[in-house]
Structure 1
Amino acid sequence: MSRLATDHLSPRQKLALSVLACVLVAIVAAPLREVLDLANMAMLFLLVVLLVAVSLGRGPAVLASVFGVLLFDIFFVPPHFSLAVANLQYLITFAVMLATALITGHLTATLKEQAAEAKRRERRTRALYEAASRLAGALDVGQVREIVDGFVAGELGGRCHLLLGDSPAAIRTAASGFSATLAEAVLSDGLRRSDQEAGQRIYLPLRAPMRARGVLVVDASKPPVEDELALLDALASLTAIAVERLHYVEVAQQSELQMVTERLRSSILSALSHDLRTPLTVLVGLADSIALAPALSAPVLENAAALRDQAARLAGLVGNLLEMARLNAGSVTLRQEWQPLEEVVGSSLKLLGAALGRHRLRIDLAPDLPLLRFDAVLIERVLCNLLENAAKYSPAAGEIRLAAELAGDWVEISVSDEGPGFPDLIAEQLFGMFVRGSGESAMPGTGLGLAICRAIVDAHGGRIRIENLAGRGGRVVVALPRGEPPAVEEEA
């Protein structure tokens, strides 16, 4: 009888079959007791024990050993049909026969169990390999859930749930219907835990190479043994790697989409700026010529001056667009030279002219400022943008302060005002393109000033930050690296 044919039998049925096998052997061998020796008869019963151990297992084999010795004594050892023994030497035969049968049955059953365990492990290893292959090709989290749930149902007869999240708050949100406390503990310390109150529910951490990605919850149909727990640990590790791979695929796709969007936007800005720059320059020149005509009336001259100012402002906006497009395209070559900061500050103030209006300007430059290596034209653009922003959002007679001082290996240049300050929630976002603070829609501008400043400062290896002052107002701080200026030889 093969193993597959007996796997569905109950323990009582297996014991009954072992007894029936011994009885059949006794019936078949009974007519041959005058022909065969008792030693050969004993071999027949040992053969039955061996077959029972192979097909039915250890328990039926033990029963067959004992029952076979009894049948051998009753039917084949004189006096027949009695447990009495005519010769005491047969007791040794019985003992050896029983011991041999027990040992043979035990070894055979052990080998059978080891073979079955090896096949079971091979089948689970193959199933785990197939699950790993499918997880490697999963396109979304839904497919990962389906693959993992199918593996647990097929190998352990249970169900599983994925609680995804890399923070306690995310796990608490995902653990609806489960123990949020256990899920958070498993996520934090990375140890497997069991929920005794929920039956055979096991919480396993999804620990990926970079970070924990969530918790795998398994509802087993029976208490899992040690090798099944090891199988679940391997499954959790494969699931975590698959989830992390999908996360970084999504991040890469978003980054690529953002890069394509930025390139397209820069191309559009560059094209529009080039196309608009020439007519705007002509428009500014015509407005200047109209404003300088002596024979015009006062209202016409006022309108001409307003036209000139608006055309100049529009030309400045287009210039900012073109500058931002050039900086994003990486086509700007820095012409860095060692020079004093005072010169670029003076040229910036001269360039601004009346743009500061009636604001009070305060200049505080430390006397021990060293020479700095920078592109004077670009740093001039940074200072002009920061001063224009300060004048735009400060009160009409407010103070604007431009200061510079040493700060370790950096020289910090700050522009502060007495305006409303920067909104805290979007402080870092203000350095993005076309991003403006709340409540600024009435102010002219495109939201490119700080973006241009950051691009220029980053190109110089510096840093820029914004902060709100303790009383009222905001401050933009630009930090440029100090460096080592070349030595200047004294004249003889």
Structure 2
Amino acid sequence: MLITGTLSAKLRKQVLHSQQREAEVTALYALSRDIAAVPDLDSVLESIIRKVADTVEGEVVLLLPGMNGTLEVKGHSKSGGNMFPDEGELALATWVFEQGQKAGCGTQTLSDVTGLYLPLLTEQGVQGVLVVCLNNQDYFQPEQIRLLEAFAGLAALAVNRVKLAEKTRVAQTLVESERLRTALFNSLSRDLRTPLASIIGAVSSLLEEDVYSPAARRDLLQTIQQGALRMHRFVTNLLDMAGLESGMLKLKKEWCDVQDVIGVAVSRLSESLGSRPLKIDIWHELPLVQADFVLIEQVMKNLLDNALKYSEPNSEISVSAQAKGEWLEITVTDKGSRIPEKDLGKIFDKFYRIKSPIQVSGTGLGLAICKGIIEAHGGEIWARNTSEGGVAIIFTLPLTLPVHPV
């Protein structure tokens, strides 16, 4: 009986140990799963604190270095306040952070204090400190310390991952900002200086003695007008893009007739269009569309201006509008050079300019502004090469009235 009882006790102990190990592995797996895809630091810290507190039935504090490098409490499980009223406890956490060694209850360093202080160690250094205080017992069992060290290891990796991701994002933002700054500077120097030089030259000529015929004076005045219009389009594009990116550009929706929108845009560009062949094909009895008339007109002007720039002077430009299901679809097509397939999506990026055999002026913002305006209306915009040669740019706007084809 004694032997049987001893064997039973050992068996129960092994079963309990196995169950405990299984629970530890499950807890570690659950934490690693919870924090694996979390992108922001606050959510990572919240997951770590909650899981550790639930597993060991205690209070948990996470400290990370602040902007000045000193430790700050970033999260804790204790409701109603901070777990670090005592400067001595914060000093101990700082020692753990600086030395990269555990301390406190259950360790060989200051074992008489209440909590267990664990460094969050990675190859890149100590990321912070995890502090745990048990609720229902005075000291930590060795297996509890091992589990908490494993939790601290996972926490360190997660915190380091989020910090590295943030550094990468900031670096990418800086690179993008520098690229945009350079592109904007180049565009300013080219697209403002050229029309300004034309205006100054024409005005200087007009201020001279009356040596020009009426026809010559009219040509000089037209040069001034065209230069001023180019500068106006340039500044308008810059302001529109700034408004779109800041969220300050608000839609003033009204019921619009797309035929009116296209007609106004064509009229505004009459000087630029000149005698260029222009074919307009608008579906009969198109329904009205709820949109910002001025902004959709701006889209049309930008698309027509783009077609003018990237096609030969005597080639035809066509505009069509039709209803497709619950969408209004408008297409502007030119007979210019085809766009490489890999660049069809890029042409809507800010300051992106495709290589063209034709000398083209402009900021590279026109199509990016079109994309922002159309997407703000809930529509889409894209480009495709046509089978006849040339490029078609298509955009859609949602219809809210039933469509009855004629």
| Unaligned ranges ≥5, structure 1 | 1-98, 141-232, 486-492
- Cα deviations by residue, 1:189-237 (Å, 9 ceiling, x for unpaired): xxxxxxxxxxxxxxxxxxxxxxxxxxxxxxxxxxxxxxxxxxxx99998
Q: Select the structure that is richer in strand.
A: 2
Assess if the C-alpha contact under 8 Å between 1:400 and 1:416 holds in 2: yes
Aligned ranges 1:157-168 → 2 under 5 Å: none
Instruction: Choose from 345, 350, 375 the match for 1:428.
Output: 345
Distance 1:340 1:252 in 2: 44
Structure-2 change in CA distance of 1:234 and 1:472 (3 Å): farther
TM-score normalised by L of structure 1: 0.45
Q: What's 1:385 paired with?
A: 302
**Partner secondary structure for residue 290 of structure 2:** strand
Residue identity matched to 1:354: E
Give, in angstroms, the shift of residue 362 of structure 1.
0.7
State the identity %. 32
Question: Structure 1 residue 433: deviation in Å?
Answer: 1.3
Equivalence for 1:134: 121
Superposed CA deviations along residues 251-302 of structure 1, whole A, max 9, x for unmatched, are 6545765897799899x99xx99xx8xx97xx59x859949x9862466664
Residue in structure 2 matched with residue 296 of structure 1 by the alignment? 212
Instruction: Report matched runs for 1:366-381 at 5 Å.
Output: 366-381=283-298
Partner amino acid for 2:121?
Answer: R
* Cα distance, 1:406 vs structure 2: 0.8
**1:145 matched to which residue of 2?**
none
Is this contact kept in 2: 1:287–1:308, CA < 8 A? Answer: no
Counterpart Cα distance in 2 of 1:409 and 1:132? 59
* Equivalent residue, structure 2, for 1:352: 269
* Residue equivalent to 1:399: 316
Q: Matched residues in 2 for 1:308 and 1:288: separation?
A: 15
Among residues 257, 261, 264, which one is paired with 1:340 in the alignment?
257
Q: Structure 2: give runs of 5+ residues left out of the alignment.
A: 29-100, 102-115, 128-149
Where is the helix percentage greater, Structure 1 or Structure 2? 1
Where does residue 363 of structure 1 map in the other structure? Answer: 280
- 2:248 aligned to which of 326, 331, 351: 331
Higher relative contact order (CA 8 A, sep 6+): 2
Question: 1:104-149 deviations in whole A, cap 9, x for unaligned?
Answer: 9x969969x969x89xx79999x9x999943598799xxxxxxxxx
Letter in 1 for 2:252: R
Structure-2 residue corresponding to 1:451: 368
Asked if 1:408 is matched to 2:395, the reply is no
Q: Secondary structure at the match of 2:237?
A: helix
- Judged with a 3 Å threshold, the aligned counterparts in structure 2 of structure 1 residues 263 and 327 are, in CA distance, closer, same or farther, namely farther
Give the deviation of 1:365 after TM superposition.
0.6
Larger Rg: 1
Identify if the C-alpha distance between structure 1 residues 474 and 300 changes in structure 2 by more than 3 Å, giving closer, same or farther. same
Alpha-carbon distance in 2 for matches of 1:243, 1:426: 37
Deviation of residue 370 (structure 1)?
0.3
Distance 2:118 2:339 in 1: 53
**C-alpha separation in 2, matches of 1:338 and 1:417:** 29
**8 Å contact from structure 1 (residues 431, 454) kept in 2:** yes
* Structure 1 position 442, deviation (Å): 2.4
Specify whether residues 358 and 263 from structure 1 end up closer, same or farther in structure 2 by C-alpha distance, changes over 3 A only. Answer: closer
| Cα pair distance change 1:318/1:441, threshold 3 Å | farther
CA distance in 2, matches of 1:436, 1:392: 12
- Cα distance in 2 for residues equivalent to 1:247 and 1:453: 35
User: Is the contact made by 2:380 and 2:397 (CA closer than 8 Å) also made in structure 1?
Assistant: yes
| Post-superposition CA distance 1:46-88 (Å, at most 9, x none) | xxxxxxxxxxxxxxxxxxxxxxxxxxxxxxxxxxxxxxxxxxx
| Deviates most, 402-411 or 453-462 | 453-462
Aligned to 2:97: none
Measured in 2, the distance between the counterparts of 1:370 and 1:430 equals 30
Q: 1: CA distance between counterparts of 2:292 and 2:300?
A: 12
C-alpha root-mean-square deviation of aligned residues, in Å?
5.3
For residues 373 and 109 of structure 1, the distance between their equivalents in structure 2, rounded to whole angstroms, comes to 79
**Per-residue deviation, 1:421:** 2.2
Aligned AA (2:308)? A
- Equivalent position SS for 1:420: coil
- Equivalenced residue count is 283
Partner of 2:53: none
Distance 2:271 2:229 in 1: 13
Aligned counterparts of 1:264 and 1:396: Cα–Cα separation in 2: 32
**Conserved? CA contact 2:382–2:394, under 8 Å:** yes
> In structure 2, do the counterparts of structure 1 residues 109 and 371 end up closer, same or farther at CA, with 3 Å as the change threshold?
closer
Q: Distance in 2 between matches of 1:343 and 1:288?
A: 40
